[in-house]
Chains A and B, each alone.
Chain A
Amino acid sequence: MKAKNKKRYIIALIVAVIGLVLTACTYFATNIYSRDDVAVITDNVIKDRLIEKDKDVYNNVDQTREQTLHLKVLSGKYKGRTFTTKNVYYPSQMVSQKYRARQRIFVNIKKGDPAIVNPKRDWVLVLALTVTIALMIAIVGRHSFALIISMALSWLIFYLVIVLDVHMNGAHIILLFSLADIIFSFFGLLIDQGFNKKMLATWLATLLGVFISFGLCYLVMQLTGESEMKYETGDYATQDPRGIFLAQTLLGILGAVMDESTDIISSLYELVQTRKDITVNQLIKSGRTMGQEIMGPLINVLVLIFISGALPMTIIYLRDNNSLGSAFGFTLSLGATQSVISAIGIVLTVIFATGCSLLFLKNKKWKWGKKE
């Protein structure tokens, strides 16, 4: 056991070192970007000048400041040249950006005039990923490889689904994301558990949980005439916002339902294996108890994700003297609806997961009957 742990820590350490090297490579990379050029701010201390103090109609007090930046371009046809440019920002940095000394940034140079696009952020992602994976290997051990592969595959499928959706121009979006859910859950569970009866039962429970709860919620939405569903408030709508909302719901619900089914069915499967005399009623009772324990925290996980994401927008609405009601309607109502639909999915999955685990029992009994 100890030797195994030691090996695990060594692998984690190796991964960490490789990750740090990759982080450094990403930080210093200059020629891999197609659109913008990389530049570095050469000032050791940036000249930062107050232009004016502002007070807007809502009595918000802020400042307008201007940074004078000296840039050295590191890639593209202006490589090696230096520029001086100005950056105007507000210290609240809601829409503007303050830059730091010696920082690497992206610039877009048109006719010898550089426009700053973004700070270079990708290396922070590599760094965070390194920490996550190294920690995962150190704590979870061998199983983390399956988890990492499963996560990478999810991103890949997600990317393909988006390509397909854009290709189909948003038509049949519900059908597309339903199919996506079926594929996501199949591969996710296959990697996690391998192809066996338990995995198929989990898959069935997941699909029942997602689609029946989605159907139920769709029915409720139709019955209430989708009143006060402010689809137009959805951000970044590049196609029918109602379709996007439904697709987001189908995606958001899947992970929780999948994890919950896995949890309940794996435990009940263990139970059936260890206690061969277990009755249907006992099994249902165990499933229900497990479900009761798990559903509250799981719903909270999703609610926090869906609602927190809308907080920056809610805060600015409230700051500008909007009433709580209108701020809620504009920024939170879609997220809240999505949370409630997911919550309904999570609750219903308790029933389906328990129901699907009865399949093992019946099959087993039937097999024993044959043997006898």
Chain B
Amino acid sequence: MSTLTALIIVLAILMTIVGGETGIRSFFSVLINTMLLILVAILISWGISIPILILIFIPLKLVTIIFLGTHDYTVAKNSFYAAFLVCLIVSVLILGCQWLAQAAGMGPEAGEVLVGLSQMPGLSYPMIAVAVAIFSSLGAIAEAAVAMSSGLLEIKKHNPNISRMNLIASGNRIGSDVLGTAMNTILFGMFGSFLSLFLWYFRLNYSMGEVLNEKLFVNEALIIMYSLIGVLLTVPLSTIFLSRGMNKNGVKDGSK
């Protein structure tokens, strides 16, 4: 048995024991999510328009993460709307920043790795870089949206007559925790993903100025910031969506 298979089996068992039914659902959400990402790679390699793929796969991936990961329908629906809107805003930001930074494509070692591979694939690597940035930050946005919505709904449950102003104030307080929860995950995830690159810079005596202008470093640092901005935008947007949805529900309850 390969190590990866063995580890996946261990993970499945642990998630079932610790998580119960939610755990099993989360396991499948992760699995489907990974497969969707590989599917994106396949479709892009076939030459299908990348912006269209991005627009189709953002909601697909959000649905997998949010609806399979949470069991409260109101939380899931609210998080989905907020996360989708944030993803669209962040996509625009990413398009702008990537256009300014021109940090697409393979890094300085490319020549060595790419021996035997096509260097002129006829695909737009600037667009691929945008796709990578969007999908990297999408997970953090979805997580933040779920945490925000479930936290706010909890407050609403204990305090049904809470005013909109108070709800927004509570939202900001929860937002600070949510950001704290996301920040280290994103930062160390990126450290863990790019450690070898940093070692490479250091061993090849790159100067500070060179590193700060180097394609892959800029790309990575930008992805960390897109994710943080995404998480930050989720805080007010989740609150707004929830308080709107609440008002509608309030009317419904009143008419009953």
Contact = CB atoms under 8 A, between A and B. Distances in A.
Interface string A334-365: 01111111111001101100000000000000
B118 A296 contact: no
Given A62-B120, A221-B3, A259-B181, A254 B188 contact: yes
Interface in B15-47: 15, 18-20, 22-23, 25-26, 29-30, 33-34, 37-38, 40-42, 44-45
Given A263-B181, A343-B30, A92 B192 contact: no
Interface string B103-139: 1111101110110011111111110110110011011
A40 B195 CA distance: 33
**Chain B binding site: helix, strand, loop or mixed by DSSP?**
helix
A282 B171 CA distance: 27
B185 A95 contact: no
Contacts of B207: 33-35
Interface string B92-112: 010001001111111101110
B236 A328 contact: no
B189 A302 contact: yes
Contacts of A300: 29-30, 33, 65, 69, 139, 142-143
B70 to A, nearest CB: 7
B183 A299 contact: no
**Chain A binding site: helix, strand, loop or mixed by DSSP?**
helix
Given A120-B213, A305-B136, A238 B199 contact: yes
Contacts of A60: 118, 120-122
A291 B40 CA distance: 30
Interface in A221-236: 221, 223-229, 234-236
B2 A139 contact: no
A236 B197 contact: yes
Interface residues of B, number: 120
B179 A251 contact: no
Interface of A: 1, 32-36, 54, 56-58, 60-64, 90-98, 100, 106, 118-122, 124-125, 127-129, 131-132, 135-136, 139-141, 143-144, 147, 150-151, 154, 158, 162-163, 165-166, 184, 188, 192, 216-217, 220-221, 223-229, 234-239, 241, 244, 247-256, 258-260, 262-263, 266, 288, 291-309, 311-320, 324, 328, 332-333, 335-344, 347-348, 350-351
Given A93-B124, A249-B192, 15 more contacts: A54-B120, A92-B120, A94-B105, A128-B221, A154-B187, A238-B204, A252-B192, A288-B18, A301-B185, A308-B37, A315-B45, A316-B118, A342-B192, A348-B18, A350-B19
Nearest first, the 7 closest Cβ-Cβ pairs linking A and B are A252-B192, A255-B188, A296-B26, A62-B120, A304-B139, A318-B45, A255-B184
